[in-house]
C-alpha cells in the first residue's frame, strides 16, 4: 500500500516488530498507515509482549482499523477474538482477506463474513490484487467519519452521470434545456435534428451531475425502414447507458410507452443502471381526465414489467411543470445505487423476513439462509449464504429483492442477488 517494501516481509509469524508509520496518498486523500506488527497469536518472540502493547497503542490512536486475515489458512479462532475486540472499539473497521491469489483462500473467503466486519475485501498483498480497492475503501470510510477540515473530506463530491434516452422527438433535448435552464441544445420538431451528443455539467443543491443527451446518435440519413430506425436509436442509447449512473427514459405521454421504449429500458436494466421513466408532454394529455395518470402508469408498467423499480414522473418540458422533480429523483436514485447496507443491519432484516417467509427453492427442502452480505454497489448486489448449494425459487428471489427495496429504500435501482452455499473449510 505504501508502494514500497519497507515493512520486513518474512514467512515466519512474528517477524514484523515495529509499528511502522508510513504516509500514504490515494485519490487526493492523505493518511498515515501503521503496521501494528502482529498483535495476537502464539509467538516465541520474547519481545511479543512489547509488540502487543505497541499494537494496542496503534489501535487506540487510529481513526480506522483494517483487520487482515489469512485467507489461505481460513478463519481461525484468533480472528473471532480480534474481530470482537476491534468491534468493541467502535472505530470504523475494514476486513482484508489476504493471500486470495491462492485457490484455497478463495474457497474459504466467505467464512470471513461471519466476523461481522463490513466490507470484506479480498486481496493479495504479494500480487497487489485488491489493494487499490482496499485503499478506495479506506479513503471512503475516512471521508464518512472525518470533519470538513480533513483532507479526506475535502475530496470532490461524487458526480452522477445521467443519460437522457428515448425515441426521436419525445422531447429529450427540450428536457435537457429545461434542466440546464438555457437553450443550449438545438430543439426542432423534425426528428433527428439534434446532431451531436452533448455533455453538460450541472450542479444542483451542491450535487454534481453530468448530462449526456443522445439525440445525436440518430442521423437523419438513417430514417429508413421502421426496423432500422429502431436499431439505430437503441444502439445510440446503448452507448450512453453504458456510461451512465442514472438513465432517464423519456417517453411520450400522448402516445404511451412503445416497444422501442421497452427495448431501451431493457438495455438500462441489463446494464444495471438506475432508471427513472419520464412521461414528457404531459401538457398534451391534461384533457384526458383525472384517471389518465393511473391508466398511463398501469400501461407503462405492463409494457415494461422489468422496470418495476423505476419511478414514473409526469412532466412537461414545454411548460416546465414538475420538471424540478427530475433532478431530485435522479439524485435520490444515484444515492440509492451507491448505498451500502452494513452487514449487521442486513442480517437483522433477513432474520425477520425469513422467519415469516422461509426460502423456497426448486427441488430442495429445508433451505436456510445463514447470513447475507452486500458485496457490491452500483447496482447493489447481495449474496445470500445458504446451508445447501441451491438456487431460490424465482418468486422467492423476487420477494427478497422487493423486501430489500422497500426496507432499505433502494429507489430506482436494480438489485442483484446471488445465492451461495456457505463455505465449509476442507469441503469445497
Ligand atoms: P428529442 O428528439 O427527443 O430531443 O425531442 P425534442 O426536444 O427535439 O422535441 C421534439 C418536439 O417535441 C419539439 O417540437 C418540442 O417542442 C416538442 N416538445 C418537447 N417537449 C414537449 C412538451 O413537454 N410538451 C409539448 N407539447 N411539446 C414538447
3-state class of 79 per DSSP? helix
The total number of residues shown for the chain amounts to 428
Separation between Cα atoms, residue 289 and residue 286, nearest integer Å: 7
Report how far ligand 1's centroid is from the alpha carbon of 169 (Å): 6
Q: Cell for 309?
A: 423499480
What pairing do the DSSP bridges indicate for beta strands 381-386 and 416-421?
parallel
Residues 7-45 pLDDT 10s: 444 445 544 444 456 777 776 677 778 776 655 554 555
Q: Which of 168, 169, 217, 254 to mutate to test the pocket of ligand 1 (most atoms within 8 A of CB)?
A: 169
Separation between Cα atoms, residue 336 and residue 159, nearest integer Å: 14
Closest approach atom of ligand 1 to CA 189: 14
Instruction: Give the residues across from 182 on adjacent strands.
Output: none
Mean pLDDT, all residues of the chain: 78
For atom 24 of ligand 1, the residue with the nearest CA is: 281
3-state class of 189 per DSSP? coil
| pLDDT tier, 312 (very low <50, low <70, confident <90, very high otherwise) | very high
pLDDT at 227: 46
Q: Which of 279, 317, 325 to mutate to test the pocket of ligand 1 (most atoms within 8 A of CB)?
A: 317
Average pLDDT over residues 184-192: 47
Stated as kind and residue range, the H or E segment containing 298 is helix 292-303
pLDDT at 270: 93
Average pLDDT over residues 110-137: 86
Highest mean pLDDT among 53-57, 232-236, 319-323: 319-323
- Cβ pair 190, 218 in contact under 8 A: no
Residues 218-231 pLDDT 10s: 333 344 444 444 44
Sign of CA dihedral 321, 170, 412, 160: negative
3-state class of 71 per DSSP? coil
Sequential DSSP letters for 339-364: ----HHHHHHHHHHHHHHS---BTTB
Q: How many other CB atoms are there within 10 angstroms of residue 145's CB atom?
A: 13
Closest approach atom of ligand 1 to CA 192: 2
- Cβ pair 286, 322 in contact under 8 A: no
The mean-pLDDT minimum among 82-96, 170-184, 279-293 falls in 170-184
CA end-to-end span of the chain = 31
pLDDT at 8: 45
Separation between Cα atoms, residue 351 and residue 346, nearest integer Å: 9
Amino acid at each position: 500500500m505504501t508502494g514500497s517494501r519497507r515493512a520486513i516481509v518474512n514467512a515466519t509469524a512474528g517477524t514484523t516488530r515495529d509499528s511502522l508509520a508510513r504516509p500514504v496518498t490515494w485519490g487526493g486523500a492523505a493518511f498515515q498507515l501503521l503496521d501494528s506488527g502482529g498483535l495476537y497469536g502464539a509467538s516465541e518472540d520474547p519481545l511479543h509482549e512489547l509488540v502487543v502493547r505497541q499494537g494496542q497503542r496503534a489501535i487506540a490512536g487510529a481513526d480506522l482499523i483494517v483487520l487482515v486475515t489469512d485467507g489461505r489458512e481460513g478463519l481461525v479462532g484468533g480472528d473471532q477474538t480480534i474481530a470482537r475486540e476491534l468491534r468493541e472499539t467502535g472505530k470504523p473497521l475494514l476486513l482484508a482477506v489476504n493471500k486470495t491469489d491462492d485457490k484455497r483462500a478463495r474457497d474459504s473467503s466467505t467464512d470471513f463474513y461471519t466476523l461481522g466486519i463490513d466490507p470484506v475485501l479480498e486481496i493479495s498483498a504479494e500480487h497487489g490484487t485488491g489493494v487499490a480497492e482496499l485503499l478506495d475503501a479506506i479513503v471512503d470510510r475516512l471521508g464518512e467519519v472525518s470533519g470538513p477540515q480533513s483532507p479526506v473530506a475535502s475530496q470532490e463530491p461524487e458526480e452522477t452521470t445521467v443519460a437522457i434516452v428515448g425515441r426521436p422527438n419525445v422531447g429529450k433535448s427540450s428536457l435537457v434545456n429545461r434542466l440546464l435552464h438555457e437553450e443550449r441544445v438545438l430543439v426542432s420538431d423534425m426528428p433527428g435534428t439534434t446532431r451531436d451528443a452533448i455533455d453538460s455539467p450541472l450542479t444542483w443543491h451542491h450535487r454534481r451531475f453530468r448530462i449526456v443527451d443522445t439525440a445525436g446518435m440518430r442521423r437523419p440519413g438513417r430514417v429508413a425502414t421502421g426496423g432500422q430506425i429502431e436499431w439505430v436509436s437503441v444502439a445510440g442509447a446503448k452507448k450512453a447507458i453504458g456510461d451512465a449512473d442514472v438513465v432517464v427514459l423519456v417517453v411520450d405521454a400522448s402516445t404511451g410507452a412503445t416497444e422501442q421504449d421497452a427495448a431501451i429500458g431493457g438495455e438500462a436494466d441489463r446494464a444495471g443502471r438506475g432508471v427513472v421513466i419520464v412521461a414528457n408532454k404531459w401538457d398534451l394529455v391534461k384533457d384526458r381526465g383525472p384517471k389518465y395518470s393511473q391508466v398511463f402508469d398501469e400501461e407503462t408498467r405492463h409494457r415494461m414489467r422489468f422496470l418495476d423499480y423505476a419511478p414514473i414522473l409526469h412532466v412537461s418540458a414545454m411548460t416546465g411543470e414538475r420538471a424540478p422533480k427530475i433532478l431530485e429523483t435522479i439524485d435520490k436514485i444515484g444515492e440509492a445505487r451507491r448505498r451500502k447496507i452494513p452487514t449487521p443491519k442486513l442480517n437483522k432484516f433477513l432474520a425477520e423476513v425469513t422467519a415469516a417467509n422461509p426460502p423456497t427453492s426448486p427441488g430442495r427442502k429445508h433451505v436456510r439462509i445463514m447470513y447475507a452480505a452486500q458485496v457490491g454497489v452500483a447496482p447493489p448486489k447481495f449474496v445470500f449464504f445458504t446451508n445447501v448449494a441451491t438456487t431460490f425459487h424465482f418468486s422467492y428471489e423476487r420477494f427478497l429483492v422487493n423486501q430489500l427495496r422497500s426496507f432499505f429504500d433502494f429507489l430506482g435501482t436494480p438489485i442483484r442477488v446471488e445465492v451461495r452455499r456457505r463455505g465449509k473449510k476442507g469441503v469445497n
